[in-house]
Amino acid sequence: MIQTLFIAASLLIAALAVACVYLYKRYRNLQQSELQSPVRPYPSPEMVAEDDISVTGNLLCDNHQIIVDNLMEYFEREKPYLKPNVKILEIADALKTNKSYLSRIINSHFKKNFSQFINWYRVREAMDHFIKDNSIDIATMADKSGFKSLTTFNTSFTRYTGMTPGEWCKKFKNVAKNEMVKKDKRERKTAR
């Protein structure tokens, strides 16, 4: 009896260890795959969509692709993510579909849940604001891009860029400054 319990406990511990290793590797791979180039502002939704199709090798059915196209067009045109309390039901209604179907499409096509998808657009918006005016502070970036809290903004920003907002802003300023110096040198050479 004790031997049986000991064997069962050993097997359970081994299974848990294997599961932990698997989950850790999957988590690490997921984090690495979501990191983007810190200097490049962000990928276009089209690039992400094309990457997802080529990676999975599965083309979406026509109806799914129409909804994906309409979703991206709607987000670019109307910017519903700027509303801090935007709900998937509102987006589904605007696209004339239901929320469960839209959620499944976002999950399968963009590899994000609705909240992550919204925050991804918000991070892009925050970057755009900083690119246009690099004197704004981080709280203003968060507020103008639809985030309800600075904590959510920092977490989402770090998730999608691999840097905190402060680190990214500093790096962007340095890159922009270096580009201006290079441009100035080229103009001086041409003027000679």
Q: Domain coordinates of the chain in residue numbers? A: 43-111, 115-192
Question: Where do the DSSP E strands lie in 41-167?
Answer: none
Q: What pLDDT, in 10s, does the model give residues 126-147?
A: 999 999 998 999 999 999 999 9
Q: How far apart are CA 55 and CA 35, in angstroms?
A: 17
Task: Tell me what pLDDT residue 189 has.
Answer: 72
> With DSSP H G I counted as helix, E B as strand and the rest as coil, what are the percentages for the chain, rounded to 5?
80, 0, 20
Q: What pLDDT, in 10s, does the model give residues 145-192?
A: 999 999 999 999 999 999 999 999 999 888 887 887 777 777 777 766
Model confidence band, residue 62 (pLDDT cutoffs 50, 70, 90): confident
37: region left, alpha or beta (phi > 0 left; psi from -120 to 50 alpha) = beta
Average pLDDT, the chain: 80
pLDDT at 69 over 80: yes
What CATH code is assigned to 115-192?
A: 1.10.10.60
Q: What pLDDT, in 10s, does the model give residues 12-58?
A: 676 666 666 666 666 666 555 444 433 334 444 444 444 444 334 44
Q: How far apart are CA 81 and CA 91, in angstroms?
A: 10
